[in-house]
Each structure stands twice: as structure tokens, then as C-alpha cells.
Amino acid sequence: MMSDFATTVVRNVDLGRGSFLIEFEDPGLGAAMRPAQFFMIGIPGNDVLLRRPFSVCGLPGTFDDATPGTLQVLYRVYGRATSLLASLKRGARLDVLGPLGRGFELRGDDAEIVLVAGGIGSAPFPAFLKELARRGRKASMIYGARSAAELPLLDWFEEHTERVTVTTDDGSAGTKGLVTLPLTSILGDKRKVHLYACGPNPMLKAVARLAVEAGVPCDLSLEAPMACGFGVCLGCVVPVKVDGETRYERVCVEGPVVPASRMAW
Amino acid sequence: MVTPDLSVEVGTVRLKNPVLTASGTFGYGLEFQPFLELSELGGLVTKGLSPKPRRGNPPERIVETPAGMLNAIGLQNVGVDAFLSDKLPKLRAFDTAVVANVFGETEAEYVEVCEKLDASSGIAAIELNVSCPNTECGGMIFGNDPASLATITRACRRATKLPLWVKLSPNVTDIRETARAAEGEGADAVTLVNTFVGMAVDVERRRPVLANVSGGLSGPAIRPLAVWMTWQVRGAVKIPIVGMGGIMTARDALEFLIAGATAVQTGTVNFVTPSSAATVARDLASWLTQRGIRSVREIVGTMRTT
């Protein structure tokens, strides 16, 4: 059940190169929360007015070295709000609203699971991978970013997937190019796959187009500017096709996970 | 210690306390049940209702700016019929004033929505939105010119016996003129202010951040502007004022009350902390208690300038 609660920062781990994993006390939400659901987190101080949306990254059992009784959020310092978040120390109060939205669902079939992440868009995948492992489902990952500096938790993903194919725009890690390069080759094999993708919108659009063309099921975890996170501001809408008509749906309530075939980009 | 009397009267509408929630920031009210007791509110104002559902503007629709936000939602709403059949029956269960915000593309559309609301029970008042800056025909064309505002107010006044509040645009040279026009055509109250038209630029792309190009600015950034307009209008009309603009706390609400508003609406803060309106009402009671003031009505319009 969604609630607005004050919690306490337990750790705010600097993963290097601008990425952080913040850990805060779980008031008992973790057990019922789905991977890719999200929180609206209040930014300390008066500089930033609105809360910011963050996917849950670690649920109970996701990270072996997590503090018991905590949840984890992965973020990258990008602007004023995330800089302030990065300044929080153990014991700091954190205002958190959640869990919000619809997370990843797993179909009970034998499709091979391929995760496609773009930079900090890898955030919802640790919790999801742990769930897949518990259900005996294997997954591989395509992990793209602008450069080697923007691939947080890469070592963890290499340990917890069958294989990670890395692509970077500048060639500083993995293959030089976009995630669509390895994805095209996987889809060309005509294997039975199910894609789950999270990253910047241009990447998601490209992944969605390939998946729809190949007739492969693909769930996107979308990102959008949000004022409220619980469905009232109507600021985060995206165009979708419903019964042949285009209309707007809220990323915060009807998403953030939306089937690629539903999008009307 | 005696609990202070928070009740106020906006014309014939009696409110248990002077804190309402602003249109467009509170959905249809029901969405906030996980966060507060709706019956703790003086009232709530619905998302703007049109004759037919509207899908609103394309994204991007919002962006945060210093101490505020710009929005260009484009009056997306379920339409008055769906409101009456799906939302209002549930809202009737709560002991709070439900104010229906109304807009249309033409005078006939305003009248149509007013007539439908008039025929329903459970509506405390109608708030005419003649000031939305985000659609070509979302009311601002009616609200920025005193003569047009008078015409639309007159038509709606004939269409309903419900108390009629007119929500004024701040995007005018002199807000006292539109306030007088509303009063002259029988409005029971004026609510002010709607958002200020603004713009944010994505400097890398050299494009407006919002797809609509411009948006409406709300939040603490506009509070001094809104308080000033409340004060100006207080000196220009006799009908009650419902004030708003960047209210985050009870102290902010008190600025409007002292400047002459009988009641206030909280807006952007409902997105940030969804229980805020109830907190503002409670803190207002504490503020009065601490000063031994028995009724909030002893505060309204008590600003001294000498």
C-alpha cells in the first residue's frame, strides 16, 4: 500500500564516477514491492521544490552486502537534486512516498530473458534479476552507456547474469555503438525471447521499434518528469495506442512499465 | 485551552475551515484518501470539468523552476458526465465542501457544464475557470478582458443557482478590473490567482522545455505576487476572496487571510506532500490558539498599513 513516510538513511555508498547507492530503512514495504516500482523522494533543503522519482534497485535479498531491513536506490549525480541527495549521511531523515506504479511482471513461459539497460536505467534490474534467479529463470543483459564511466554496478551484473554485452558511444568499454547493435543480432536469431528495457527515451524508442518489428514481447520501464508520482498532476503522460486511438497515459500510475507495443511514439 | 473556531463563510458557502485545495492539484479528491482525511479540509476544488473528456497537451508538460514549476497540462479531464456518475457519488460521503471547477471552449459549453452541475446534489459551489493559460480556448480569452469575463459570468449566473466563484487570471494589467466585472455580474466570490504565464528554455536544444511552449507558473515563487493581488482586489470589491499562490504552510495561508482573503487554496504543495492541506488547517488552529485568538474570522482582512 502506498504511503508517505519519513525514514532514515543507513548508507549512501559512492560507487565512483558519479553513481551512488543510497540505503534507507524499509518500513515494511519491500516484501510486497515489485521491481521497477518507484519512490518519490524528497530532496533535502529548500533548493528543490518537487520530489524526484527513483526506481527501487534493491529489495530484501537483492544485494548480499546490504544492511538487513533496508531498501536501496541507485542514482547518478546529474543536477542539483541528485547532488543534494548525494550529500546525505547516515542518520539523515528522508521523505519517501511509495511504492508507486506498476513494476515488471514475469510471464510463466520459457522465453529467454534479455534485459536492455541504458546507463542509470540499469537501476531496476538488480531486484528483478534476483527474482528471476529465485524462479530459476536465466537472463542476459545488454548494457549501454555514453562511456565506461556510466555503467554502474557492471561487476554485479556480470556476476548475476549469464552474460553482459557492453556497448558505449565512445568505445571506452565494450563495443563502440548503441545497444541496438547486439539487440539486432539477438532478434535475428529468431530465438524465443522476452525483452525488458530501461534507459533514456531515445534508447527505449529504438528498442521498442526493433521488438515490435520482430514480434517479440518487450516491457519498457519509462522515465518522465513528475510533480506528484501518484496520478494527479498529469505531468508525466506518454502517448499510447488504445483501440486504434492515441491517448495519454500516466507513467506514474499506468506505468512506469508499459508494453512496447502499446506506445504511440 | 479553547479550540479556535476555524469556520468561515464564503458568501453563502459555510466552510469548516478556510483551507481548500486548488483545482488541478487535487485530482477529484478521492486520490488523496491514502494521505489525509478529506473531511479535515474546508473544501476541495475539482480538476476543471468540460462537457466532454479532454486528452490534454502533448508532453513535456511540466518542469521545475526556481521555487516553483511550470505546467501545461491542457485541461485533461474526465468530462462532467463521468465526474457526476463516477466521482461525485463517492465524494458525497465526505463532510467537506466540493467545489466544481468549470471550463469550456465556448460560452455554450460553460453553460452546459453549469446546468449539469446545478441539477446534481453535493456541489457546494461552482468555480469558473476563465484563466487557464495553457489552451487556446481554455478560458483565458474570457478571463483577460473584463468585458468578456462579464459576458461569461452573466451566462453562467443565469445557468445555475449554485454559488458562483470566478477564478481570476493574474496575467492582466489590473486584476481589479476583472474582479469588478465578476462582482458586477453576480459572482458570489472571486478566487485568485491562477498561474502566471512563463517559459523555460532547454539551452542545449535551443527549444522550449514544454511542448506547449509556455506554461503556468505556480509554487512559492509566485506567492508575493498573489498576496499583492489579493490585497489589491480586497480594496476593489465587496464579495469574498479565496486566495492562493504558493501556499506551503499555515503562515503562508495567514498572509492571504490578513491581506483580505476569507479562505485559501493550497496547490503545488499537494504534489510535494499530499497531506499538506490538512496540516495547514491544523497549524492554523495552533497559531490562533497560541495567540489566544478565538476565531479565524478575527484575522481576515486585518492588515494594517499605517
Determine whether B207 is exposed, middle or buried from the number of CB atoms within 10 Å of its CB (0-12, 13-18, 19+).
exposed
A116-126 average pLDDT score: 98
Best of B60, B271, B275, B279 to substitute, by most chain A Cβ atoms within 10 angstroms, is B271
Cα separation of B17 and B161, whole Å? 23
* Among A26, A72, A75, CA closest to A52: A75
For residue B220, give the chain A residue with the closest CA.
A49
* A80 vs B: CB within 8 A: no
CATH code of A82's domain:
2.40.30.10
CATH code of A202's domain:
3.40.50.80
Determine whether B259 is exposed, middle or buried from the number of CB atoms within 10 Å of its CB (0-12, 13-18, 19+).
buried
A4: nearest CB among B25, B61, B275: B275
Q: What is the ipTM of this complex?
A: 0.95
* Among A64, A74, A71, A68, CA closest to A21: A74
Q: Model's pTM, two decimal places?
A: 0.96
B132 is annotated as an active-site residue: yes
Where does B58-174 have alpha helices with state H? 80-82, 88-91, 107-118, 140-143, 146-159
Q: Is the residue at A81 inside a domain?
A: yes
Q: Is the residue at A75 inside a domain?
A: yes
Domain carrying residue A183: 112-223
Q: What is the model's pLDDT at position A109?
A: 80
For residue A232, give the chain B residue with the closest CA.
B27
Indicate the pLDDT class of residue B133, thresholds 50, 70 and 90. Answer: low
- Helix/strand/coil for B88: helix
Q: How far is B233 from chain A (nearest CA, A)?
A: 29
Cα separation of B57 and B75, whole Å? 8
* A45 vs B: CB within 8 A: no
Contact list, A97 vs chain B (CB under 8 Å)? 274
> Which residues in A128-244 belong to E strands, given as ranges?
139-145, 164-168, 175-176, 193-198, 218-221, 237-242
For residue B136, pLDDT over 60 is answered with no
Q: Are A94 and A175 in the same domain?
A: no
- Give pLDDT tens digits for A20-75: 999 999 999 999 999 999 999 999 998 999 999 999 999 999 999 999 999 999 99
Q: Is the residue at A107 inside a domain?
A: no
Q: Indicate left, alpha or beta for B303 from its phi (over 0: left) and psi (-120 to 50: alpha).
A: beta
Every domain of chain B and the residues it spans: 8-56+74-197+219-298
Q: Is the residue at A201 inside a domain?
A: yes
Q: What is the model's pLDDT at position A108?
A: 74
For residue B77, pLDDT over 80 is answered with yes
Cα separation of B24 and A232, whole Å? 8
Is A230 within 8 Å of B56 when comparing Cβ atoms? Answer: no
Topology, domain B8-56+74-197+219-298: TIM Barrel (3.20.20)
A128-146 average pLDDT score: 96
Domain count, chain A: 3
A230: nearest CB among B62, B64, B274: B274
Q: Are A200 and A125 in the same domain?
A: yes
Contact list, B275 vs chain A (CB under 8 Å)? 4
B274: nearest CB among A4, A48, A248: A4
Q: What is the model's pLDDT at position B132?
A: 67
Q: Are A180 and A206 in the same domain?
A: yes
Indicate the pLDDT class of residue B131, thresholds 50, 70 and 90. Answer: confident
Q: What percent of chain A has pLDDT over 90?
A: 94
A133-144 average pLDDT score: 96
Among A74, A100, A126, identify where a domain stops.
Answer: A100
Q: Are A251 and A215 in the same domain?
A: no
Cα separation of A207 and A144, whole Å? 12
For residue A165, pLDDT over 80 is answered with yes
Q: Is the residue at A173 inside a domain?
A: yes
For residue B141, pLDDT over 80 is answered with no
Beta carbon pairs, A and B, within 8 Å:
83
